[in-house]
């Protein structure tokens, strides 16, 4: 257990350094950007004095390094800044939308794991068979398909076509919180889930297949066969047990990245999540929100990596946390 | 064979194994016949690529993508004709295998006790607790200190020799009738090798298990098995009792292998390596496969493959070489006699010699 504490302490320090780095870059980008918040807030008609007053109020007339220092201070306290355009703190904006993105990612992750690992296993157990070629082909198709295309396609078929013949199983857009109505929550998310799952599952199918085929060539699998172990047991307890490690790594990275916002899918399906917030803040030049979201996304990726490293210890007894 | 027994436990007849490769079919095993009696021991010796490991793995159906023909009767039933489910019952229980590299042959992510329990429970309806007790007992028997704690360790926590002991414990778990040891000491230090060989001999003595030991090292066989089969390019070239093979080999390849062994204490005796390398199994030479490397090759050897014939060394001694059947032995004197015989072509006492 002492190992884990030491490991976490070390990783925490490292993470803070990385986040500080990211924060510094986005902060200075803020000043390079040709945008004057005070002028925007003041409106077109405002006098130079009004603009100056607003600028002073926001603290934007202070020297750059002073602003940088106070920005870091706030960020260190978990204050991601204030969105002048929304008149709300970035954190509360995120809080409003995090539930949508988490619902989307968690549900999608379950589906893509099942489909991806399942298809990969199917291909690996019968290499070069019709099933293997079919799963590999389908995986390649989804792997190379742009997300918006698949999303629009699902909408066209499962929403619009069904709607035309009077079947309204899947809503075309919008979000209902889980706490409000679990069934509607799920129905609204089925198409987005499928969109991210099918595209992501393709990676998992290829990864699982190649990883399992590698393991099947190992001497210890020959040992298992020489022991007279049944085929399914060899597959699950011996082959998959070893082959799952790279899948776990990929899974951690994917989930961590997506929690920061699933930009395309959320926009295609009108889901008010973090991805949509990213797009709207960029189009409205809402820099504090952009900075906050970037920091948050980085933090998710860092945390996901730490979790993956800890899970590794349980997956492989040879791995030590140092 | 020297070991004449009533009914052989394992009876392999004209085993042939080939693989399809991009360059064409590779004939890894080209007609191997041998028997192993109950409680007897056979050594299979050959260089890498001679087909010795492939033969035993083919018998157990462990090769995927191989074309296997011939017969391999175990207790009267042909393993090569068995359905996978039947064969699975023989593997691990009737015939157990210890592989060469104990580091890669044990599953790295499972505790060694778990791996032994698994084989027990795959073949019996013993409950987990009893199987675990048996696993600890086995680890103790093969000489692993504090077996109760060690059962919960992973393979990486063991040394090479200890890992091989774990492999042996796993192989012994169900009291197999045959233990196949496929180069069990090759990956180990010399001192550890001796311990593992002693352990294998003890298994034979105490459980009356038949042993098939595969090795490229004639010296290892000397200490363990009663009979020896020497293989070259996928075929057996000589069968003999261990003693006969060492002192009265007939085949020049066997004689060459023995002369490769460092013997005695004299530093002045230089080792005599066999010139050349084994042939590619994609394209085996015509006639005797060994003739390109043989210093006694005659014209006949280049065109006609010699059949296995009875030779002078003793009961069951057979060799696939055209040299006169009484020409046995090692050393300079035997070599001179072989050379002389090779220079004076003589009628061969085999009807098939003339084309």
Residue B29 is assigned to a structural domain of this protein: no
pLDDT in the model for residue B167: 96
Burial of A49 (0-12, 13-18, 19+ CB in 10 A): exposed
Sheet of strand B66-74: strand arrangement: B24-36, B10-21, B66-74, B77-78
CA distance B255 to B238: 11
**Mean local confidence (pLDDT), A147-154:** 90
Instruction: Please give the structure tokens belonging to residue B9.
Output: 């436990």
Least confident window among A5-14, A89-98, A165-174, A299-308: A165-174
Of B60, B100, B91, B52, whose CA–CA distance to B196 is shortest? B100
Is there a domain that residue B47 lies in? Answer: no
Q: What band does B349 get if pLDDT is binned at 50, 70 and 90? A: low
Nearest to B168 by CA among B146, B145, B201, B190: B201
How far is Cα A240 from Cα A25, in angstroms, rounded to an integer? 42
User: In which element (H, E) is residue B230 found?
Assistant: strand B227-232
Q: What is residue A196's DSSP assignment?
A: H
Q: Does residue B351 surpass a pLDDT of 50?
A: no
Residue of B nearest to A225 (CA): B62
Position B5 confidence tier, pLDDT thresholds 50, 70, 90: very low
- Three-state SS for B130-151 is HHHHHHHHHHHHCCCCCHHHHC
Separation of alpha carbons A266 and A284, rounded Å:
18
What is the model's pLDDT at position B319?
Answer: 95
Q: Name every residue whose Cβ is closer than 8 Å to that of residue B157 and which is 6 or more positions away in sequence.
A: none
Q: Which of B121, B153, B173 is the last residue of a domain?
A: B173
Q: Which of A223, A237, A315 faces B99 most closely, judged by CB atoms? A: A223
Let me know if residue B207 belongs to a domain: no
CB contact under 8 A, A224 and B107: yes
Most confident of A85-89, B289-293, B327-331: B289-293
- C-alpha–C-alpha distance, residues A199 and B204, integer Å: 58
What is the average per-residue pLDDT within B273-292? 88
Greater model confidence, B5 or A175: A175
* Three-class secondary structure of residue A143 per DSSP: helix
Question: Does residue B223 form part of some domain?
Answer: no
The pLDDT tens digits of the residues spanning A55-109 come to 888 777 888 888 888 888 888 888 888 888 888 999 999 998 999 999 999 999 9
Using the beta-carbon criterion (under 8 Å), do B105 and A227 form an inter-chain contact?
no
Q: Is the per-residue pLDDT at A155 higher than 50?
A: yes
Q: What is the pLDDT of residue B3?
A: 44
Q: Which domain holds residue B321?
A: 255-353
- Check CB contact of B108 with chain A, cutoff 8 Å: yes
Least confident of A137-141, A183-187, B270-274, B292-296: B270-274
CB of B67 less than 8 A from some CB of A: no
Alpha carbon distance B350, B333 (integer Å)? 26
Paired tokens of B160: 């090479």
Chosen domain end from B147, B173, B199: B173
Average pLDDT, chain A: 89
In this complex, the residue of A219, A229, A237 whose CB is nearest that of residue B99 is: A219
pLDDT value of residue A1: 64
Instruction: Let me know: does B155 contact B169? Beta carbons within 8 Å.
Output: no
Neighbours of A25 (CB within 10 A): 12
- Cβ A79 vs Cβ A254: under 8 Å: no
Query: Mean pLDDT over residues A220-231, rounded?
Result: 95
Q: How far apart are CA B10 and CA B210, in angstroms?
A: 9
Ordered DSSP codes for A25-60: HHHHHHHHSS--HHHHHH-TT--HHHHHHHHHHHTT
B225 falls within a domain = no
A305-311 mean pLDDT: 91
Q: Is the pLDDT of residue B264 over 60?
A: no
Picking from B38, B37, B73, the residue whose alpha carbon sits closest to that of residue B316 is B37
Structure confidence at residue B263 (pLDDT): 64
pLDDT computed for residue A48 by the predictor: 84
Tell me the percentage of chain A whose pLDDT exceeds 90: 56
Instruction: Report strand pairing: B24-36 vs B10-21.
Output: antiparallel
How many residues appear in chain B? 355
Residues 6+ apart with CB under 8 A from B33: B12, B13, B14, B15, B236
Chain A residues interacting with chain B (CB cutoff of 8 angstroms)? 218-220, 222-231, 233, 237-238, 241-242, 315-318
The HSE-up count of residue B118 (CA atoms within 13 Å, CB side) is 23
**Nearest CA to CA, how far is A237 from chain B (Å)?**
9
Q: Determine which helix (DSSP H) or strand (DSSP E) holds B180, and give its type and residue range.
A: strand B178-182
Chain A interface, best mutation among B105, B131, B187, by max A CB count within 10 A: B105
ipTM: 0.88
Could you give the CA distance from residue B210 to residue B178 in angstroms, rounded to a whole number? Answer: 5
Which of these, B209, B241, B216, B206, lies nearest to B227 by C-alpha position?
A: B241
CA distance B97 to chain A (A): 7
- Is A295 within 8 Å of A19 (Cβ atoms)? yes
A177 alpha carbon, distance to own chain's centre: 19
- Minimal-distance CA residue of chain A relative to B99: A223
Q: Which of A10-19, A282-291, B260-269 has the lowest mean pLDDT?
A: B260-269
Tokens encoding B48: 């890498």
Phi, psi dihedral angles at A47 (to 5 degrees): -80, 165
Contact indicator for A120, A207 with CB cutoff of 8 Å: yes
Predicted confidence at residue B49, as pLDDT, reads: 84
Which stretches within B18-60 are classed as H helix? 52-59
Chain A closest-CA separation from residue B289 CA (Å): 30
Asked if A228 lies within 8 A of B89 by C-beta distance, the reply is yes
Query: Which of B127, B158, B173 is the last residue before a domain boundary?
Result: B173
- Report the C-alpha gap between A167 and A213 in whole angstroms: 44
Q: B307 lies in a domain?
A: yes
Predicted confidence (pLDDT) per residue in A244-286, tens digit:
999 999 999 999 999 988 999 999 999 999 999 999 998 988 8
Q: What is the DSSP letter of B279?
A: P
Contacts of A319 in chain B (CB under 8 A): none
The greatest distance separating any two alpha carbons of chain B, rounded to the nearest whole angstrom, comes to 71
Closest-CA residue to B211 (of B197, B222, B225): B225
Chain A residues touching residue B187 (CB < 8 angstroms): none
Please state the domain count of chain B: 2
Rounded to an integer, the average pLDDT of B237-243 is 93
Ordered by where they begin, the domains of chain A are: 2-89 (no CATH), 91-315 (1.10.3720.10)
The dihedrals phi and psi of B231, each to the nearest 5 degrees, come to -115, 145
| Separation between Cα atoms, residue A195 and residue A265, nearest integer Å | 7
What is the rounded radius of gyration, in angstroms, for the C-alpha atoms of chain B? 21
A162–chain B nearest CA distance, Å: 48
Stretch among A29-38, B271-280, B299-308 having the lowest mean pLDDT:
A29-38
Same-domain pairing of B169 and B259: no
Mean pLDDT of A123-146: 92
Output B68 or A156, whichever has higher pLDDT.
B68
Q: Which residues of A touch B156 (CB under 8 A)?
A: 317-318
* Rounded Cα–Cα distance for residues A95 and A86 (Å): 14
Is a pLDDT exceeding 90 seen at residue A179?
A: no
- As a whole number, the mean pLDDT across chain B is 89
Shortest CA distance from A219: residue in chain B: B105
Q: Is B66 helix (H, G, I), strand (E, B) or coil?
A: strand
Give pLDDT, residue B347: 55
Asked if B109's CB is within 8 angstroms of A242's CB, the reply is: yes
């Amino acid at each position: 257990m002492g190992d884990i504490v030491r490991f976490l302490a070390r990783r925490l320090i490292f993470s803070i350094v990385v986040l500080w780095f990211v924060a510094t870059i986005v902060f200075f980008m803020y000043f390079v950007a040709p945008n004057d918040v005070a002028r925007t807030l003041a409106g077109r008609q405002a006098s130079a004095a009004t603009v100056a007053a607003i600028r002073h109020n926001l603290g934007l007339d202070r020297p750059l390094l002073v602003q940088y220092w106070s920005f870091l201070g706030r960020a260190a306290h978990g204050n991601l800044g204030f969105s002048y355009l929304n008149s709300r703190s970035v954190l509360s904006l995120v809080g409003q939308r995090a539930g949508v993105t988490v619902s989307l990612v968690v549900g999608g992750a379950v589906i893509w794991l099942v489909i991806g690992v399942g298809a990969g296993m199917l291909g690996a157990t019968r290499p070069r068979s019709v099933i293997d070629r079919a799963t590999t082909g389908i995986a390649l198709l989804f792997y190379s398909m742009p997300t918006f295309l698949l999303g629009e396609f699902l909408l066209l078929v499962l929403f619009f076509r069904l709607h035309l013949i009077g079947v309204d199983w899947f809503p075309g857009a919008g979000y209902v919180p889980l706490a409000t109505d679990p069934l509607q929550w799920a129905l609204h998310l089925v198409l987005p889930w499928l969109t991210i799952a099918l595209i992501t599952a393709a990676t998992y199918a290829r990864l699982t297949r190649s990883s399992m085929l590698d393991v099947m060539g190992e001497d210890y699998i020959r040992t298992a066969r020489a022991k007279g172990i049944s085929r399914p047991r060899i597959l699950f307890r011996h082959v998959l047990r070893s082959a799952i490690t790279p899948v776990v790594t990929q899974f951690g990275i994917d989930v961590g990245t997506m929690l920061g916002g699933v930009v395309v899918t959320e926009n295609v399906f009108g889901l008010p999540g973090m991805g949509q917030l990213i797009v709207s803040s960029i189009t409205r030049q809402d820099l504090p929100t952009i900075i906050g979201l970037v920091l948050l996304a980085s933090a998710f990726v860092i945390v996901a990596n730490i979790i993956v490293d800890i899970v590794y210890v349980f997956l492989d007894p040879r791995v030590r946390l140092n | 064979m020297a070991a004449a027994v009533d009914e052989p436990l394992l009876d392999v007849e004209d085993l042939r194994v080939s693989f399809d490769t991009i360059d064409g079919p590779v004939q890894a095993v080209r007609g191997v016949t041998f028997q192993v009696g109950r409680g007897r021991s056979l050594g299979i010796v050959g260089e890498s690529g001679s087909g010795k490991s492939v033969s035993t793995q083919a018998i157990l159906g462990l090769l995927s993508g191989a074309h296997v023909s011939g017969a391999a009767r175990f207790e009267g039933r042909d393993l090569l004709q068995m359905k996978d489910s039947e064969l699975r019952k023989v593997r691990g229980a009737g015939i157990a295998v210890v592989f060469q590299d104990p580091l890669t042959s044990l599953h790295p992510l499972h505790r060694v006790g778990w791996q032994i329990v698994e084989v027990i429970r795959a073949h019996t309806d013993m409950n987990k607790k009893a199987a675990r007790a048996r696993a600890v007992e086995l680890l103790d028997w093969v000489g692993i200190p504090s077996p109760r704690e060690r059962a919960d360790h992973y393979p990486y926590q063991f040394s090479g020799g200890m890992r091989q002991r774990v492999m042996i414990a796993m192989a012994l778990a169900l009291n197999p009738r045959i233990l196949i040891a496929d180069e069990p000491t090759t990956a180990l230090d010399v001192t550890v090798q001796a311990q593992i060989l002693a352990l294998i001999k003890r298994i034979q003595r105490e459980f009356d298990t038949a042993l098939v030991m595969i090795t490229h090292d004639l010296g290892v066989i000397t200490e363990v098995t009663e009979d020896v089969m020497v293989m070259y390019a996928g075929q057996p070239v000589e069968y003999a009792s261990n003693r006969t093979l060492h002192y009265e080999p007939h085949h020049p390849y066997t004689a060459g292998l023995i002369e490769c062994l460092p013997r005695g204490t004299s530093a002045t005796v230089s080792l005599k390596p066999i010139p050349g390398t084994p042939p590619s199994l994609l394209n085996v030479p015509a006639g005797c496969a060994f003739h390109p490397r043989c210093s006694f090759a005659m014209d006949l050897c280049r065109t006609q493959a010699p059949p296995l014939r009875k030779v002078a060394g003793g009961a069951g001694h057979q060799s696939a070489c055209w040299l006169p059947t009484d020409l046995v032995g090692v050393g300079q004197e035997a070599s001179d006699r072989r050379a002389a015989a090779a220079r004076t072509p003589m009628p061969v006492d085999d009807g098939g010699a003339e084309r």
